[in-house]
Chain A
Amino acid sequence: QVQLQESGPGLVKPSQTLSLTCTVSGGSISSGSYYWSWIRQPAGKGLEWIGRIYTSGSTNYNPSLKSRVTISVDTSKNQFSLKLSSVTAADTAVYYCAREGGIAVAGTTYNWFDPWGQGTLVTVSS
């Protein structure tokens, strides 16, 4: 079955750009009608959706992060990536990647996140 694995630096300095990659295994990132999302979770807090990309390259971002986020996909490597610019301590969190799939019924799409990667902790500190 499809598995996702996040990778990237665990420590980023304030004002710099956080960069993470999610590698998809067990299936092609291009097959099927899936979105590929990034979600984060500060320690002891809830989940926050960051954004998603479709294999065509179209993206949607969380309005509160939109000005700082870029999500891209590399189908040749079966990966998608996250860049978050101008980071502060508030961006310290466990970052998860997840596949967003679902079903279409009577012209309406119903989606959900499954599976998720195991998550990677990114700390913003000098």
Chain B
Amino acid sequence: QSVLTQPPSASGTPGQRVTISCSGSSSNIGSNTVNWYQQLPGTAPKLLIYSNNQRPSGVPDRFSGSKSGTSASLAISGLQSEDEADYYCAAWDDSLNGHWVFGGGTKLTVL
């Protein structure tokens, strides 16, 4: 059972916009920023969004992030086949001397 809650799956057709939610609590998302990671099949996770809504260099602007209260969202517009991957949210949790927590991951399927 992950501390951050994500839907296990999401899907969309090419060109569509999809959103993935991430729900937490006051000790993690409510107090700290959220990062998103993309994990393509058979590879290591890669930073996709940091500090709620910032894109690292090289990440297309089709990817965007937002946060409100104790929840965050990742939006992917203009869906492409290469976006098919697992997506994880993460946040620092201030409880128990502090530790990182992840969502359980959302598998995105491009139909």
Contacts and interface: CB of A to CB of B under 8 A. Distances in A.
Interface of A: 37, 46-49, 52, 60-63, 96, 102-103, 110-119
B44 A46 contact: no
Interface string B68-111: 00000000000000000000101010001111111111000000
A37 B92 CA distance: 13
B47 A110 contact: no
A119 B100 contact: no
A37 B33 CA distance: 18
Nearest to B2: A46
B56 interface: yes
Contacts, number: 61
B98 A46 contact: no
B29 to A, nearest CB: 13
Contacts of A60: 97-99
A112 B35 contact: yes
A117 B45 CA distance: 9
B26 to A, nearest CB: 16
Nearest to B4: A46
A111 B34 CA distance: 9
A62 to B, nearest CB: 5
A49 B51 contact: no
B45 A118 contact: no
B47 A112 contact: yes
Nearest to B95: A63
Contact of A47 (B45, B51, B56): B45
A126 to B, nearest CB: 28
Nearest to B105: A46
Interface in B18-34: 32-33
When A and B form their complex, which 9 residue pairs have the shortest distance between CB atoms, in order from nearest? A49-B100, A114-B47, A112-B50, A112-B35, A63-B96, A116-B44, A47-B102, A46-B105, A46-B104
